[in-house]
């Protein structure tokens, strides 16, 4: 299991690492790494290899909102069924069940404020058992998935030293 954890940690940080690199870094055989990764893809542990993009820097306008959703849990299925009705929408980037003052935290992304607002009022708020929504528009992202978006830290070392 520790091997899987180590492979996942490496890939989560850099999905472009090759089987060869991973195998040498962990002191394994290349075939073993290939096999483990293949199995984890099969098992749905590795879901996809994606890229973390700073869209603002790329000059692409994206509007996101975080919405606190209060719901009435349903007998037998609890929150899961309502969550599913929400996460099936492609506009929804993430759905998280929360402890505290509300139930689901939903991130919605769209091309404009209008588009996002329309989705919330017409689609999200009207779902049965959704009691209330509180929408917070994202103004600026500083850090995402553990990565600082505009990091001023760089290699300041002398080019060579004993």
Partner 1 sequence: MSLKTNRDHRVSPIVESLPPSGIRKFFELVANTKGVISLGIGEPDFVTPWHIREACLYSLEQGYTMYTSNSGLPELRSEITKFLVRSYELDYDYDKEIIVTIGASEAVDAALRAIITPGDEVIIPEPSYVSYMPCAVLAGAEPIIVDTFARDDFRLKPEHIERKITPKTKAIILCYPNNPTGAVMGREDLEEIAALAVENDLIVISDEIYSELTYNGRHVSMASIPGMKERTILVNGFSKAWAMTGWRIGFAAGPEDIIGAMVKIHQYTILCAPVMAQMAALEALKNGGDEVEKMVLQYDQRRRFVVNRLTEIGLDCFEPRGAFYAFPSVKITGMNSGEFAEELLREEKVAVVPGDAFGRAGEGFIRISYAASMKNLTKAMDKIEAFVGRRVKTVSNLCQV
Residues forming contacts to partner 1 in the complex (CB under 8 A) are 10, 14, 17, 21, 24-27, 153, 155, 157-162
Q: Which is nearer to partner 1, 101 or 162 (CB)?
A: 162
Q: Which is nearer to partner 1, 24 or 74 (CB)?
A: 24
Q: How far apart are CA 29 and CA 42, in angstroms?
A: 20
Q: Which is nearer to partner 1, 14 or 128 (CB)?
A: 14
CB 155 → partner 1: shortest distance, Å? 7
CB neighbour list of residue 121: distance below 8 Å, 6 or more residues apart: none
Q: Which is nearer to partner 1, 24 or 131 (CB)?
A: 24
- DSSP secondary structure, 101-155, as one string: S-SEEEEEEESSHHHHHHIIIIIITTSTTEEEEEEEE----SEETTEETT-----
3, two tokens = 């091997």
SS3 label, residue 38: helix
CB 19 → partner 1: shortest distance, Å? 13
CB 140 → partner 1: shortest distance, Å? 20
């Amino acid at each position: 299991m520790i091997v899987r954890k180590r492979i996942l940690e490496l890939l989560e940080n850099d999905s472009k690492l090759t089987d060869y690199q991973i195998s040498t870094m962990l002191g394994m055989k290349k075939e073993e790494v290939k096999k483990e990764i293949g199995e984890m893809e099969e098992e749905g542990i590795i879901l996809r290899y994606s890229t973390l993009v700073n869209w603002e820097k790329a000059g692409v306008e994206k509007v996101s909102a975080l919405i606190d959703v209060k719901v009435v849990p349903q007998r037998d299925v609890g929150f899961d069924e309502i969550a599913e009705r929400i996460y099936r929408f492609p506009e929804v980037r993430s759905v998280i069940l929360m402890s505290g003052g509300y139930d689901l935290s939903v991130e919605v992304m769209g091309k404009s404020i209008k588009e996002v607002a329309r989705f919330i009022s017409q689609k999200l708020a009207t779902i049965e058992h959704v009691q209330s929504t509180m929408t917070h528009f994202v103004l600026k992202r500083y850090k995402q998935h553990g990565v600082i978006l505009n990091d001023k830290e760089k290699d300041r070392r002398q080019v060579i030293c004993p």
